[in-house]
Amino acid sequence: MKMYYESDIDKGLIKSKKIAVLGYGSQGHAHSLNLKDSGFDVVVGLYEGSKSKEKAEQQGLNVLSNSEAVKNSDVIMFCLPDTIQGKVYKEDVEPYLEEGKMLMFCHGFSIFYEQIKPPSFVDVAMIAPKGPGHIVRRVFESGQGVPCLVAVHQDNSGKAKDIALGYGLGVGGARAGILETTFKEETETDLFGEQAVLCGGVTSLVQSAFEVLVEAGYQPESAYFEVLHELKLIVDLMYQGGLGEMRFSISDTAEYGDYTRGPVVVDPSVKENMKKVLEQIQSGQFAKEWIAENDEGLHKFKDLRKENSGHPIEEVGKRLRGMMPFLKNQS
């Protein structure tokens, strides 16, 4: 394992480059503002008519169309949804690539699954912050940083990793550490983490537990507090000190239940199902399915979003959170 920190990085290379950040969503706004505050020469690239243009300009950033941003920059960072990167690349990026330019990504999906196939005369690298954009920005403003991953897919200049590390320093990643990886590893582990644990696994677990309690006759409000509201408190303990810190902080009763009942809920079959999910990621099956879903208009995706937004836990949670105004000041 190789970790890079501020003292390991020469920012001279990246400081001499003009940087374009394409997109001004969660990651795009954090990257752009952090780079600007680090003293880097950065411009935001947006599609014509983007509603984000005014916001970015109000926050002190120069905004150009995607194509103009690419023409006028040495380093082009994609902070766009995976599913539109290929189209933007074909229309607004590829025609204006020249030797010496560098393509960067905050997630490896488009390169690893060949939605984008760069020419051999450009560098291709990745800096992937391990946190949502608003956290990347807020932590940076506090003087700290969110850890990042760095990977190089194509090194035409011989300096791709050094430039990428300088970019990672600019967004604050080197304050916490930048771990070297590959596009393959980042893409597959990121998708697996989202599907098996962070999003898919957790939401399915929470919803099922809520349903079990309500169906057994308990108040929905009590069920919400026990299986969703308190989840953040437990995750915060794990985030700060691992599973051991969490277990040290909870009651002996809770810890005993952890050891003896947890494996009943998440039994060996769950691990086998996780392996199947990973296999679908490794084989490209998930990527093909998701790309096809986008190409066909996202009908299934929108139906699933609507179905899940109507789950009773959402109505109960919205009502209870309305009674807890202090939550608005927490992340």
**pLDDT tens digit at each of 331 positions of the chain:** 799 999 999 988 898 999 999 999 999 999 999 999 999 999 999 999 999 999 999 999 999 999 999 999 999 999 999 999 999 999 999 999 999 999 999 999 999 999 999 999 999 999 999 999 999 999 999 999 999 999 999 999 999 999 999 999 999 999 999 999 999 999 999 999 999 999 999 999 999 999 999 999 999 999 999 999 999 999 999 999 999 999 999 999 999 999 999 999 999 999 999 999 999 999 999 999 999 999 999 999 999 999 999 999 999 999 999 998 878 766 5
Extents of the domains making up the chain: 3-181, 191-329
Query: Which token pair is 259?
Result: 């050891």
What pLDDT sits at residue 327? Answer: 81
Query: What torsion, rounded to 10 degrees, do the Cα atoms 239, 140, 40, 23 define?
Result: 70
Q: Is residue 45 a contact partner of residue 79, using CB atoms and an 8 Å limit?
A: no
Q: Which of 148, 94, 95 is nearest to 125 (CA)?
A: 148
pTM for the model: 0.91
Q: How large is the C-alpha radius of gyration of the chain?
A: 22
Q: Which amino acid is at 290?
A: W
Q: Is 134 a catalytic residue?
A: no
Q: How far is CA 170 from CA 5, 31, 70, 119, 167, in A?
A: 12, 8, 19, 26, 5
What pLDDT sits at residue 284? Answer: 96
Query: Considering 107, 134, 153, 299, which one is annotated as catalytic?
Result: 107
Q: Is domain 3-181 in CATH 3.40.50.2030, yes or no?
A: no
What pLDDT sits at residue 289? Answer: 96
What pLDDT sits at residue 32? Answer: 98
